[in-house]
Structure 1
Amino acid sequence: MPVTRSPRVFVSYAGDSGAHTDTVHEFARELRGQLGIDVRLDLWERDRRRDWLEWVVDQIEQGDFVLAIGSPEYKRLAASDGESQNHARFQLAMLREHLAADRARWLPKILPVVLPGCSADDLPAFLQPYSATRYVVPAQLDELLRVLTGRPPLRPAPAGTARRPRGRRTRRVVPRPRAERGPEPGTARGRGGSGGRRRRLLAG
C-alpha cells in the first residue's frame, strides 16, 4: 500500500573521504528537498552535543527505511572487530543484528545503495549485494523511490471469481462384455484353421 505520509529514511554511510561524504550529502539533499523523502542524516544534526549512539538507535528503530550506502570503508568496517566507537561500525552491527534476529521484517527495510564512484563490491557481504536487490544511483533511482513510497510500477489485476469446471461423463475404460455369438459366416474357429477347411480336406 502507498504510504500516506513522507517515509522516514535514515542514511547509513562511512566517511571514506571528503568527496564521498559530499556525494552522500547531495544524494540526501535531493531525496529530501526535491523528492519529498523525510531523510535523516548525521551531517544535519551537529547543531549541539549529542549522544550519537542513542541518536543512531532512534533513527534505525523508528525509521521506515535505512539506506546503507556502500563504499570501501563501509565494507571494511563491517568486517572489522575493532573501532567499536566508530559510528558507522555501530550502525552496521545493529543492521546485521536486526537481519539475524528478524529477517522477514528487516530485509525489506534495509536498502543497499551504490552511489557514483562506488560499486556493488563496496557493499558488505551480509547485505547480499549480488543475491538480493540493490539500488545503483542514478540508474535505479526511480526504482528506489517506488520502494520508499510504496508505489510499484506494475500491479497485478484483481483475481477473478473461480468457476467450477463443468461435469463430464466418465468414459468407461473397460468395455462392456459382448454377448457370446456364433461365428460369422466364413470365420475360422478352433486351433490352426476352420472346421470347414478340415472337412474339405478329409473329404477330398
Structure 2
Amino acid sequence: MCALFLDTETALLYDSYPKEGNWGKYEMEEAASGLKTIGLNVEVVQKPESSLEKWRSLASKPWTFDLILMNSKGYPKSFQVGNGDASVEDIPKLQFPAAIHMIHSWSAAAPDDTNTVAGRWLVNGAYAYVGSVNEPFLSAFIPPKLMVDRLKRGSPFLIAARQLESPPWKVATIGDPLMSIAKPRPRIPPTQQPM
C-alpha cells in the first residue's frame, strides 16, 4: 500500500540500445518529454554516454529517483549498460522506494533471489517492478513512449507496461496493481499544522 503515499517527482531513463532497427523503437527521448509534461524532473542517459563507466559512476551512491525506465540486454545476473555488462553487485541502493520498468530478458527469472537483477532491485528498495522471466523477444515489451502515454492517461503502472492485445508473454509485474504515476501533489511540511 506504500504507493498511496509515494509521489513520483524524479525519473531516470537509461537507454543502452542502438538507435537503428527495432531497438530504435525503445528510445527514451519521447518518453522523457512525456514525463516532463506531468512535472517530473527527468534525467536521460543514452548512447554514447551510456556505458559501464557511466553506470558505475551513477551507482556509486544511493539513487533518489522515484521512477526508473531502463532498456538492456543480458541474463538473470547481468545486464548490458552500453559498452559492457554490469552485474547485480552494480545495482545501486535506492534512497527512496522506486518503480522500475526494465526491458531486459531474464531480469525477473527469480525475483526472490537477491543474486538476480529483479531480486537485487527489490531488496534495494523497488516497490514496483516490471521485467521478463525468460526470453520473450523485444516485441513483448511496450516501447517507453507508449508506456508513458498510458501513464499520462491514468493507467496504473503495471497495466501500462503490458501488451494489451496479446496474451501475457513472459513479462512479470510485481507490486500494487493500482499504483499510478501522476503529477506530484503538494504536500504539507511536517512542521506545518493543518488548519
More helix by share: 1
Q: TM-score by structure 2 length?
A: 0.41
Structure with the greater alpha carbon radius of gyration: 1
Identify the structure with the greater strand proportion.
2
TM-score normalised by the chain length of structure 1: 0.40
